[in-house]
Structure 1
Amino acid sequence: MTKRKEYKERDADEAIRKLLEATGKIVREEGFEAITSTKVARMIGMDPGVVNKRFGNLNGLKEAYIKTKDYWVFCFEQYMLPEGARDEEILEMFTGMMLSSYDFFAADGEMQSIIWSQTGVGNNPLLRRLSEEREAGGAPLLALTDRHFADGPVDFRFVACAIVGASYYPVWHARNNKSTVAGIDINLEQHYKGYRNILAYLMELAWNDAGRSYTEKPFYGKYLPLT
């Protein structure tokens, strides 16, 4: 590689880094929906055309930015287990993954804005595709739970869905509105830790209940048949 080409690649990498950092700053201050090529480029003293040059278009920049922030990608890589993993290893893996995602989401305002946009914006092909990629990444891990829940009426995917939603909702309230949910304010350290413990407890409760029929637990109330 010639020195000139080396310098050009170094300059390109530096431009990409600055553009991604500027995008993050906009998200922190104004929200994900505020990202525009002009705003990002001007923040670092460049022409808006640099976004197309380095990322193809604005969606290319948004996608690259999201992939630097999406903790689920890192979770899937960190917590992947072999198909022959023991049941207790699978529970430990899911508990660790869900709690780390809760910690990351609660601490990262940029990710809060990204997920909010994914759930609140109309038909956005980019955000929809990235959500589907996230789902595909988690599918092999969820498949590991099928053996444990095979003899009962519960599919662990329902449990995982509930835990993920439960991780997001009080964070949005606490961080954005400074408000409580059922009297719980996770801005308070004691409430934050208490809620975290409950997420782990619910995972373990569902796991230990696998195989029991609904009729064995009348105090659960009525259930709709799944078939």
Structure 2
Amino acid sequence: MARKKKESAQGIETIPEKKPRKVVAGPIRDKEKTKRRLVATVGKVLQKYTYSGLTITNIAKESGLNPKLIYLYFGNLDGLIQQYILEKDFWSAKSRTQLAELVEHPDSIGAEETNEVFQGQFDTFLKDKTIQRIIHWEMGMKNKLLRKVADDREELGGHLLSTLDSKFKNTGVDIRASLAIILGGIYYLTLHAKNNGSTISGIDINEDEGRERIEKAIERIIRRDFEDAERSGLEKKNSKKK
């Protein structure tokens, strides 16, 4: 502990110096902590009950907090659910990084890089139950918020597609359609496998063998389209030389 000197009639006296008091923003800190807890609980309830179970009662019960706090911090239940959905990232951190790098360096985009992005999405959907629930929710209900989330997700993927357009222009290969089928297949396969354990075409992606078959199929479709586009480009170049 630091000490300071003080003069007195008896001479110089050394006394301990007090430490400055630590300022803690208690109410503000507690408010943010409570809000984060409520938002996180939405995900827990969604996994446990599906979207029909997203009620004030269930969220208060799972969080152990007073239901009045939902109204205090988010206005109402819809405000809390909206906050959760807007924060939910449908693209994995790895996929987001890959997309940003590919868009910044379009010349580096090839079959391998495109395959990595979609394999990452397949893995994310298989593992994240809350994303599965929200996608299912989107499919079964017309909702402005869910539409916004879907549009935001589409916009991010659209950056990659716009970059790919130039590579496939005038090749006769519709890469957007192929990737749409792949992504739609990921949704459908995952929802079926995780919600009721059913197989599609006798393939069970809950098993390693089934999942690997789908991964190989995704890669094969993407590589085939890139090869076809390259072949088409070479054929056109050769025909011009003649």
Please tell me the TM-score bracket, short chain as reference: 0.7 to 0.9
What corresponds to 1:92 in structure 2?
112
Q: For each residue in 1:68-98, what CA deviation from the matched residue of structure 2 results, as whole angstroms up to 9, or x when unmatched?
A: 4323274334421245522x53433321111
Does residue 205 of structure 1 match 2:217?
no
Cα distance change on mapping 1:117 and 1:165 into 2, 3 Å: same
Q: Which AA in structure 1 matches 2:227?
A: N
Q: Which AA in structure 2 matches 1:202?
A: I
Cα distance change on mapping 1:72 and 1:207 into 2, 3 Å: same
Cα distance change on mapping 1:166 and 1:152 into 2, 3 Å: same
Q: State the 1:23 CA deviation.
A: 1.2
What corresponds to 1:144 in structure 2?
163
Distance 1:56 1:155 in 2: 46
The RMSD of aligned alpha carbons is 2.3
TM-score when normalising by structure 2 = 0.77
Contact 1:174/1:185 (8 A) holds in 2: yes
Higher relative contact order at CA 8 Å, sep ≥6: structure 1 or structure 2?
1
Q: For each residue in 1:36-69, what CA deviation from the matched residue of structure 2 results, as whole angstroms up to 9, or x when unmatched?
A: 2332123223222312332343233223322443
| TM alignment of 1:107-126, pairs within 5 A | 107-121=127-141, 123-126=142-145
Residue identity (%): 32
Distance 2:44 2:60 in 1: 12
Gaps of 5+ in 1: 214-227
Give the secondary structure class of the aligned counterpart of 1:147.
helix
Q: State the 1:212 CA deviation.
A: 6.7
Give the secondary structure class of the aligned counterpart of 2:137.
helix
Distance 1:52 1:207 in 2: 52
Distance 1:140 1:119 in 2: 24
Distance 2:87 2:50 in 1: 16
Q: Which AA in structure 2 matches 1:51?
A: I
Q: Which AA in structure 1 matches 2:114?
A: F
Cα distance change on mapping 1:69 and 1:83 into 2, 3 Å: closer
| TM alignment of 1:1-227, pairs within 5 A | 3=23, 6-72=25-91, 74=93, 75-80=95-100, 81-86=102-107, 89-121=109-141, 123-210=142-229
Contact 1:24/1:110 (8 A) holds in 2: yes
Give the secondary structure class of the aligned counterpart of 2:159.
helix
Contact 2:103/2:160 (8 A) holds in 1: no
Distance 1:182 1:60 in 2: 41
Which structure shows the higher strand fraction?
Answer: 2
Q: State the 1:193 CA deviation.
A: 1.3
Aligned length: 210
Gaps of 5+ in 2: 1-21, 233-242
Distance 2:184 2:148 in 1: 19
Contact 2:57/2:67 (8 A) holds in 1: yes
Cα distance change on mapping 1:39 and 1:3 into 2, 3 Å: farther
